[in-house]
Amino acid sequence: MQLILLGPPGAGKGTQASFLEQEHGLAKLSTGDMLRAEVKSGSELGQELQEVMSSGKLVDDSLMISLIRERIAKPDCERGFILDGFPRTLAQAEALTTMLEEVDRRLQHVIELKVDDEALVERISGRYSCAKCGEGYHDSFKLPKQDGVCDKCGSTEFSRRADDNAETVASRLDAYHAQTEPLVAYYRDLGILASVDGMAEMDEVQRQINGIIL
Ligand code: ADP
Ligand code: ADP
Ligand code: ZN
């Protein structure tokens, strides 16, 4: 099964992709995570990416498309995958359609998470994650069961994303509305769009998604 989680920054794509990964054994492909790994490596490309990402703008389509093309050819994607953060432009969406046709696969569902802009700012400003395993948390909405200890791996180190600040968030939201939102109509026309209420609690959103894919 091939799925896309579509939604603005902070909508809960990563959170729901992790649920789907655990429950259904699908590979979670987060382009944001891939790009942050490249930045962390300190490579020349990583330095260029960091500049673009900290401005809240989108990274070049051709680079993103080749990144995903290579990634979906890996063995862990054979059973299917969830795309979190890709595609983000019409050019990326069209390239994905073509690349899946080439390998005789197709998208079953594109799940749009609908969340108001004000709630997004609140979600993003409280977001942090485990520095070791990447598990996501939130200052108000998802605290570790034991204070300061990751539920998943027991680590006591956490980190916050450099681009999760008020100024960058505003341009990321602008980029979403201008460049990514048109994909809703693109996938609706293909007949594979489903929308869920992303304002609901995490468990409820998960339940709604399971209702669509099962
Ligand atoms: P969020 O989880 O808040 O939606 P991501 O982690 O997906 O954010 O992305 C962080 C940044 O990485 C984006 O603001 C953008 O600069 C870049 N990025 C991630 N995915 C893509 C993509 N498919 N196309 C272009 N840029 C991307
Ligand atoms: P995205 O990948 O779309 O940028 P995340 O999954 O990282 O979004 O979620 C953003 C923040 O909001 C995280 O701190 C996460 O714990 C929290 N969050 C996710 N889903 C919900 C929800 N349904 N209700 C409240 N907070 C949520
Ligand atoms: Zn952890």
Distance, CA 91 to ligand 3 centroid (Å)?
35
What is the pLDDT at residue 43? 98
| Closest ligand 1 atom, residue 175 Cα | 14
Q: How confident is the model at residue 86 (pLDDT cuts 50, 70, 90)?
A: very high
Q: Give catalytic residues, as residue numbers.
A: 13, 88, 127, 161, 172
Q: What confidence tens digit (pLDDT) does each residue in 33-64 have?
A: 999 999 999 999 999 999 999 999 999 999 99
User: What average pLDDT does this structure show over 94-106?
Assistant: 96
Given a contact cutoff of 8 angstroms between Cβ atoms, the answer to whether 4 and 107 are in contact is: yes
- Which residue is closest in CA terms to ligand 1's atom 5? 32
User: What average pLDDT does this structure show over 79-92?
Assistant: 97
What is the pLDDT at residue 156? 98
Q: What confidence tens digit (pLDDT) does each residue in 5-24 have?
A: 999 999 999 999 999 999 99
What values do phi and psi take at 137, rounded to 5?
-140, 170
* Distance separating alpha carbons of residues 196 and 22, to the nearest angstrom: 20
* Distance separating alpha carbons of residues 118 and 12, to the nearest angstrom: 14
Distance, CA 148 to ligand 2 centroid (Å)?
19
DSSP-assigned states of every residue in 95-122: HHHHHHHHTT----EEEEEE--HHHHHH
- Identify the three-state secondary structure at position 56: coil
Q: How confident is the model at residue 2 (pLDDT cuts 50, 70, 90)?
A: very high
* Distance separating alpha carbons of residues 205 and 127, to the nearest angstrom: 18
What is the pLDDT at residue 5? 98
> For ligand 2, is residue 15 a contact (CB within 6 Å)?
yes
| β-strand pairing of 127-130 with 136-138 | antiparallel
Select from 106, 111, 100, 90 the least CA-distant residue to 17: 111
0.75 cut: is pTM over it?
Answer: yes
- Which residue is closest in CA terms to ligand 2's atom 25? 141
Q: How confident is the model at residue 87 (pLDDT cuts 50, 70, 90)?
A: very high
Q: What confidence tens digit (pLDDT) does each residue in 177-192 have?
A: 999 999 999 999 999 9
What is the pLDDT at residue 162? 94
